[in-house]
Amino acid sequence: MATNLRTLLPLLLLAFLSLSALCTISQAKEDPQLRECRRECSQKPRQQREQCEERCWEKHQQRGREQERERERELVDNPKGEAEKRYGQCREQCEETQHGEAQHKQCVEHCQQRYEQEIRERGQEQGRERGQGKEVDPQERVRQCRKECREEHGERQGRQQCEQRCEEREQRRERGGGRDDLILNPRREEQEEEEEEREERGGENPYVFKQEDFKHKLETEHGNIRVLKNFAKQSKLLLGIANYRLAVVELNPRTFLLPNHWDADDVCYVVKGRGTVTVLKKEEKESHEIRQGDIMKVDAGSVVYVINSDSREKLIIVKLINPVSTPGKFEAFFGAGGENPESFYRAFSDEVLEAAFNTQRDKIERIFGKQRRGPIVRASEEQIRAMTRRSSEGGHLWPFGEGGRYGESKGTFNLLNKRPTFSNQHGELYEADSNDWRQLGDLDVKVSLANITSGSMLAPFYNSRATKIAVVVQGQGRVEIICPHLAKESETRTRRSRERYEEEEEDELNRPGQQGQRYRTIRANLSPGTVFVVPAGHPNVEIASRDENLQIMCFETRAEKNQRIFLAGRNNLLRKMEREAKELAFDTSARKVDELFDSQREEAFVPGPESRRSQHGSGGRGHGREFIESVVEAVAGM
Ligand SMILES: [Cu+2]
């Protein structure tokens, strides 16, 4: 369905654009304002006439654009109207071209189907846009409105009043209930967030997130930055990581992400591709070549710009974000820019800017009025080459930087260049914490990458203190997370509905029949882009499908004193209990307990259920080595 939509939308847009182009042309013939304007021009002296007519034409086009936008809005607000129009046209065509009765009937049916599909898809698209907060319209509209103000009003006062009106108009629109005013109206955003909260999935599966749980923070044809929904909004059970956010930055080949700063610290992991990141803080400038496996830390307030220097591959970076001023919320600030991305300079009053830069308004306009291409732009090969060259001259080019033999430089650390903590034919685990790279200590975060060989699994384990935020990078598989909280929640719910009159805050542990612990198993399929969270203490297991290796990258919070506790395999914790404890705990002979806990000879990565079934525990298909080799090759190829 999603692909259908993607192919259909450009077509719709095209149809719409050509329709509006037609309209513009027909207006050119009929627009009385244009006719009147030109008539006035004809009375002017010959030298002025040409300029005058040009102005008429510009104004006429501006009106056309406005009408176009109006129609676009209508299309959004009233998809049915547009679709109905097309349905009518389609039927007319049937009348004209189809002759036989059966043929005609078929044609009309086809029109009908197309109409219904369009309504459905358009509705879904709107739902999706609302869900993702992909609300670019109002901002764009204000921007455009303010631009027109500047063009129309030379003198400052009139221009500022006009710009004021742009904002007011948007606010009115919002009061009128227009759906596309999210960005301009924080109150509305709150409402949406409340709605989100009401839809809290806490009841069923609060730990797994899909693609649709990401919202685009910015999006252009050359790439995007998308942010996962607030963990605390997803479920109260995730309040422990409420001040972290997860984001994905995706840049198309040969593009440039404009300089910006965030009110948040973050740790970046390069999932794919290569490029250059430049960080400006105070009077320093650092440039770093980045490539797959690199970890970087960006301090709040540093101005950062990024180049994807590759000509074919996307650059994909996953970020763990730690907002510094408002818990769980952060924003991007663009200084360099113009209209799009809007430079924050422009938001200062004119007289302040004139004083600050010690120059005239028009000079300031000339700089901050230019950029309209959006926050991610194409860069030429020469521009990329020049910036990349300079970054390597900066001295931090990995692996020749200041760091040791693991290619550590001041600015980045490559995870894949480190020896894996665990490695066997069923997979390997690469991890880095503050011991490997001091900067990870600031956020108390560990970064890791598990490569689970097809058909294998990462043995069940839990983290003692860390909450794991995992992103599936490659492959397919599944996860199981064991959660007592959810078991309790659903029990409480059923009990409440059964015994509504009883006191709700009754001590659960003292109720007969409620004693002891119960668990709920969260099961989810994994594919690239899936995010899942495993809170501290929760046993979990990740299993690769039989066809492909499963690669999962993780951020783990509260990393410093965290321990990974394996629940099966050679390094399994329970094996360490003494004989008596085993017998008391399991109520059977220690020999039988040992038999069970000793029969898995592998450590950390073990054969998964499917491969066990077919091969009786004799191992997976052994892509683990290949993966290491491919990493080594990639590193050697630098
Ligand atoms: Cu739980």
Q: For the residues 442-457, what does the mean pLDDT come to? A: 93
What's the gap in Å between 189 CA and the centre of ligand 1? 29
Q: How far is the CA of 483 from the centre of ligand 1 (A)?
A: 4
pLDDT tens digits for range 9-62: 555 545 444 444 443 333 334 578 888 888 888 888 877 887 888 888 888 878
Element (H, E) at 376: strand 376-378
Domains 208-326+375-414 and 428-433+446-499+517-569+604-636 share a fold: yes
- Tell me the CA–centroid distance for residue 482 and ligand 1, in Å: 7
- Which pLDDT value is given to residue 164? 73
User: pLDDT band at residue 227, thresholds of 50, 70 and 90?
Assistant: very high
Residue 179 pLDDT level (bands cut at 50, 70, 90): very low
Q: What angle do CA 117, 119, 122 make, to 5 degrees?
A: 105
pLDDT of 500 > 80? The answer is: no
Through-space distance between the first and last CA atoms of the chain, rounded to whole angstroms: 41
pLDDT of residue 509: 46
Task: For residue 238, report the distance from its CA to the centre of ligand 1, in Å.
Answer: 9
Cα–Cα distance between 280 and 268 in angstroms, integer? 16
Ligand 1 center from residue 485 Cα (angstroms): 4
CA of 207 to the centre of ligand 1 (A): 9
Instruction: Kindly provide the residue ranges of all beta strands, DSSP E only, lying in 475-518, ordered along the sequence.
Output: 477-483
Tokens read off for 9? 């939308």
Confidence of residue 153 (pLDDT cuts 50, 70, 90): low
Over residues 80-86, mean pLDDT = 72
**What is the CA(245)–ligand 1 centre distance, in A?**
20
Average pLDDT (194-218) is: 72
Whether pLDDT at 355 is above 70: yes
The string of pLDDT tens digits covering residues 416-437 is 988 999 999 999 999 998 888 8
The most confident of 39-43, 113-117, 541-545, by mean pLDDT: 541-545
Cα(467)–Cα(459) distance, rounded to whole angstroms?
17
Mean pLDDT on 267-293: 91
Q: How far is the CA of 428 from the centre of ligand 1 (A)?
A: 27
* Domain ranges within the chain, ordered by starting residue: 2-164, 208-326+375-414, 335-373, 428-433+446-499+517-569+604-636
Q: How much is the average pLDDT of 361-385?
A: 89
Residue 537 Cα to ligand 1 middle (Å): 8
pLDDT at position 28 = 38
- Which pLDDT does position 499 carry in this prediction? 56
Q: What distance in angstroms lies between residue 532's CA and the mean position of ligand 1's atoms?
A: 13
pLDDT value of position 391: 63
Question: Separation of 363 CA from ligand 1 center, angstroms?
Answer: 59
Q: For residues 192-198, give the mean pLDDT.
A: 46
Do 543 and 479 touch, CB atoms closer than 8 A?
yes
Dist. CA 471–CA 529, nearest whole Å: 6
pLDDT at 234 over 80: yes
Residue 2's pLDDT band (cuts 50, 70, 90): very low
Give the Å distance between the CA of 206 and the centre of ligand 1: 9
243 CA to middle of ligand 1, Å?
19
Taking the C-alpha atoms of residue 116 and residue 140, their distance in angstroms, rounded to an integer, is 31
Distance 484 CA to ligand 1 centre (A): 5
Provide the edge-to-edge strand list for the sheet that holds 446-452. 208-209, 531-534, 468-474, 550-556, 446-452, 427-432, 422-424
Checking if the pLDDT of 192 tops 60, the result is: no
Distance from residue 516's CA to the centre of ligand 1 (Å)? 15
CA of 205 to the centre of ligand 1 (A): 10
Asked if the model's pLDDT at residue 621 lies above 50, the reply is no
For ligand 1, the distance from its centroid to the CA atom of residue 492, given in whole angstroms, is: 14
Tell the residue number behind the tokens 């009159």, with chain if given: 501
The whole-angstrom separation of Cα 84 and Cα 57 is 33
Residue 386 is predicted with a pLDDT of: 86
Q: In angstroms, what is the span from residue 522 Cα to ligand 1's centroid?
A: 10
Contacts of residue 168, Cβ cutoff 8 Å, sequence gap at least 6: none
CA of 521 to the centre of ligand 1 (A): 10
pLDDT at 186 exceeding the cut of 70: no
The CATH number that domain 208-326+375-414 falls under is 2.60.120.10
Residue 496 has pLDDT above 80, yes or no: no
Query: How many whole angstroms from 273 Cα to the centroid of ligand 1?
Result: 36
d(C-alpha 149, C-alpha 135), whole Å:
23
How many angstroms separate the CA atoms of 93 and 362, rounded? 55
Tell me the per-residue pLDDT of 564-609, one tens digit each, with 9 for 90 and over: 999 999 888 888 899 999 999 999 999 999 989 888 888 899 999 9
CATH architecture of the domain covering 428-433+446-499+517-569+604-636: Sandwich (2.60)
Ligand 1 geometric centre to CA of 524 (Å): 15
Cα 461 to ligand 1 centre (Å): 14
For residue 228, the CA-to-ligand 1 centroid distance in Å is 20
pLDDT of residue 5 exceeding 60: no
Q: Please give the average per-residue pLDDT across 135-158, as a whole number.
A: 69
